[in-house]
A = this chain, B = another copy of it.
């Protein structure tokens, strides 16, 4: 198949000479597949997809892109939810698929040096095989790549104990938009020698450069995990329950979901209701219990919460099987509501503000769209809410999404009112770009654009994502 007209033979030959003939693809299948991520709002339209194997090849590609003025879209596991990795405007896609090697392992440092294309699950397994643990985990860990996780500072279900991807990055190798290779922080825990440039690339969505390698900290494996699912009478009760447990036990997760989410998961038939009592909301909490007194303490707190009326009913996992099934009540939500064409939003406010925030959004939706159902769920232990509005059957997809755009405005106004974030863990990409100003001030955005100029003066790196210059 011929290359699209906008790429010169000269350019294509040059990049072929860098990565090899077989690693430069211009066939339609490849263009359509590697030109997009998990979003569907923007049609993929890259001009070429390249599969380098090393940092050096990436650097050479970026330099050539600068010479020929060709924009680049970095591409990892393509699981992004904000169109940060969609190449919609003739970009050269640089895929890290072939950069999936473990380069070095430092057991004394509990650290592994990997290429950016390693799959999250592959990293988790490498850690496990070596007696360690990589704690960043989420639904797409089977296909997301570490480079992409770094680009959006991915979070997931264990943040309350382990923090975001950022916490686990001890070093980064990046190729800047100018084509410079920087080895940032080189795996050190302590290094007070000027600006921590690596933190700009973490969460930078590939707009300053491409992450090609990372030194990643590992943790000891968790021991004897236990899960409890508790039913609560209203959202206000969630906060004292969180406090009661968190002040006495180190939680590894504290998730919540509404009855509607529970129903949708149960309708799928894979798992059963954990206890008879139907409750407006549920929390799932997880903790390590390698010592008997921890279980006793958990039971004590549970009973205290029952006495206080904060909890209506509850169950504790009695086996590994039951633990997995309890987790499915939370983890299967996304998949279970997918057939209802949900309008999805990933937002964050201080935990303190969550109850008021949820009430306000519920009221706004109920007032304006009484036939809309809201599925709430999320990582309440870190203030991260997933708001999902289900499409009423009698509404067309287009009508529904048009109405949701108006809801969007209300949601983001409320996020702004509470000083929250319009994107907690999915990044901005193209889908949230128009709303960036709800979370970042005009001055901040101006500084961000100026930083972009420093690392990528020709606006080669993932242009049109995050903001327009």
Q: Which residues of A contact B (CB under 8 A)?
A: 106-111, 131, 152-153, 155, 159, 163-164, 166-167, 176, 180-184, 186-197, 199-200, 202-205, 208, 220, 239, 242-243, 246-247, 250, 290-291, 293-294, 348-352, 379, 382-384, 419-428, 432, 436, 439-441, 443-445, 447-448, 450-451, 454-455, 466-467
Rounded to whole angstroms, the CA-CA distance of A294 and B349 in the bound complex is 38
B196, A440: Cβ atoms under 8 Å? Answer: no
- Which B residues touch A432, using CB under 8 A? 193
CB distance from A7 to the nearest CB of B (A): 29
- Pick the residue among B220, B379, B440 that contacts A246 (CB under 8 A): B220
- Pick the residue among B163, B180, B199 that contacts A443 (CB under 8 A): B180
- Pick the residue among B192, B199, B243 that contacts A199 (CB under 8 A): B199
B190, A348: Cβ atoms under 8 Å? Answer: yes
- Pick the residue among B164, B291, B466 that contacts A190 (CB under 8 A): B164
Rounded to whole angstroms, the CA-CA distance of A271 and B183 in the bound complex is 45
A191, B382: Cβ atoms under 8 Å? Answer: no
A194, B466: Cβ atoms under 8 Å? Answer: yes
Rounded to whole angstroms, the CA-CA distance of A184 and B443 in the bound complex is 11
The 9 closest A-B pairs by CB, nearest first: A199-B199, A190-B424, A189-B382, A191-B421, A291-B291, A450-B454, A108-B352, A108-B351, A190-B348
B421, A184: Cβ atoms under 8 Å? Answer: no
Rounded to whole angstroms, the CA-CA distance of A439 and B152 in the bound complex is 27
Looking across the interface, which residue of chain B has its beta carbon closest to that of A164? B190
A194 and B291 in contact (CB under 8 A), knowing A164-B189, A182-B441, A220-B247? no
Rounded to whole angstroms, the CA-CA distance of A447 and B197 in the bound complex is 9
Rounded to whole angstroms, the CA-CA distance of A204 and B192 in the bound complex is 9
10 contacts between A and B (CB under 8 A): A109-B383, A111-B350, A153-B196, A159-B190, A182-B447, A189-B382, A194-B204, A195-B448, A290-B293, A447-B455
Best-surrounded residue of A189, A191, A194, A202 (most CB of chain B within 10 A)? A194
- Pick the residue among B110, B196, B466 that contacts A200 (CB under 8 A): B196
Best-surrounded residue of A108, A242, A440 (most CB of chain B within 10 A)? A108
- Which B residues touch A445, using CB under 8 A? 194
A193 and B421 in contact (CB under 8 A), knowing A188-B348, A247-B220, A294-B291? yes
- Which B residues touch A106, using CB under 8 A? 350-352
Rounded to whole angstroms, the CA-CA distance of A451 and B194 in the bound complex is 11
